[in-house]
Structure 1
Amino acid sequence: MARRPDEEYDYLFKVVLIGDSGVGKSNLLSRFTRNEFCLESKSTIGVEFATRTLQVEGKIIKAQIWDTAGQERYRAITSAYYRGALGALLVYDVTKPTTFENISRWLKELRDHADSNIVIMLIGNKTDLKHLQAVASEDAQSFAEKEGLSFIETSALESTNVEKSFQMILAEIYRICSKKNIASEDTGSGATGGIKEGKSITVSGTEANNTRKPCCST
């Protein structure tokens, strides 16, 4: 059956949010997909996801962003959660050193269960609480470089770098997919990337299909 025009897209990219409970994963999701922030956000139970459609290099990309509870009792869903994920946002709270210390454990879990070629970005969230920042940006940058991750600091509350972080990871996923496509079509001509460094990404409309009620609804 043909998809309706509003459902048409060239690529579907699954991206997962991981990290300790309370670091702001759900608000990063809602800020990016619905431009909403909820101060009274409750801990996620199980799994939820939302989607947003963007335009990258003339292609329509449907980003399916998955969010899960950070609590241990929900870890049984791990393998299904990571299945098919092309990107992962590894989130910690810049005001809570423990959430940064636990990043190594989350990264290990990710590498144990996800595809070996998954694109990973380290995110230090809640930069609006600058006066309470307890994890130095330099330490996080150093960790990211050592592990081969990209790194950015965000504030879901102030909408700082949220759009940029998702654009960056989706652009990198698309670049890798484009290389694979070119390589498979013409193995004799070396693959060149689909998104060139420094090229801007145009964001088109927003599509928000989510599995829970709108933020702060009763």
Structure 2
Amino acid sequence: MAAYRAEDDYDYLFKVVLIGDSGVGKSNLLSRFTRNEFSLESKSTIGVEFATRSLNVDGKIIKAQIWDTAGQERYRAITSAYYRGAVGALLVYDVTRHSTFENVERWLRELRDHTDPNIVVMLIGNKSDLRHLVAVSTEDGKAFAERESLYFMETSALEATNVDNAFAEVLTQIYHIVSKKAVETGDEGAATTIPSKGERINVGKDDVSALKRVGCCST
């Protein structure tokens, strides 16, 4: 049996943001991943919410602090503070509403304006359970992701399809970048490169692009 670890016992803390149009299911993706809950009645919440969950990646405890815009997107009032320190992002659209997919480009531009250009980004086509209503094909989602060097998955927060996989993939890629930097720095610098417990990680500009192109679009 795995040894018990306290909730605040972790090796890395990574901030991940959820962005995308209102009503695409960001809050339900967050609650499904962090609490395994889903609500058909969920209302847009004003303000910013975040929740946490820890995962084991390569024997390290990675604590994800996931921020949800929760209704602010309608006011276009998402501030740079929301993005500050984020090393990963899930950019979400609703596969049944083509307009939400059309707006992905604008969201991506805003994200890149406020974060390191090589933040790990996954494009999420949510509500894949509504197959009879699909307005955005998987191929279109993949093509956009490939063009922009993003990861891509289709998810269903309702059926819990690929939700854990999407978050885990983003966190794993961030961790690999951080550990790669530690190795490249060499033993001498490893102590300063590997953060102390709970320190936020800022991914360097040159570390992600190659990774993203290689691993793009696995479903």
Q: TM-score, normalised by structure 1?
A: 0.81
Identity, % of aligned pairs? 71
Unaligned 5+ residue runs, structure 2? 189-206, 208-213
**Counterpart in the other structure of 1:212:** none
By how many angstroms is 1:186 displaced? 5.1
**Counterpart in the other structure of 1:118:** 119
Unaligned 5+ residue runs, structure 1? 192-196, 199-218
Question: Secondary structure at 2:62's aligned position in 1?
Answer: strand
Counterpart-to-counterpart distance in 1, 2:91 and 2:170: 12
Question: Secondary structure at 1:13's aligned position in 2?
Answer: strand
Deviations 1:33-59 (A, max 9, x none): 000000000012110000001110000
**Counterpart in the other structure of 1:134:** 135
Deviations 1:70-108 (A, max 9, x none): 5332x3342000000000000000000000000000000
Question: Secondary structure at 1:181's aligned position in 2?
Answer: helix
**Counterpart in the other structure of 2:63:** 62
1:71 partner amino acid: E
CA contact 2:47–2:72 (8 Å) conserved in 1: no
**Residues 20-169 of structure 1 mapped to structure 2, 5 A cutoff:** 20-68=21-69, 69-73=71-75, 75-169=76-170
Q: TM-score, normalised by structure 2?
A: 0.81
Question: Secondary structure at 2:14's aligned position in 1?
Answer: strand
**Counterpart in the other structure of 1:210:** none
User: Between Structure 1 and Structure 2, how many residues are aligned?
Assistant: 187
Q: CA RMSD in A?
A: 2.1
Counterpart-to-counterpart distance in 1, 2:100 and 2:74: 14
Deviations 1:10-69 (A, max 9, x none): 000000000000000000000000000000000121100000011100000000000002
Counterpart-to-counterpart distance in 2, 1:70 and 1:87: 19
CA contact 2:15–2:67 (8 Å) conserved in 1: yes
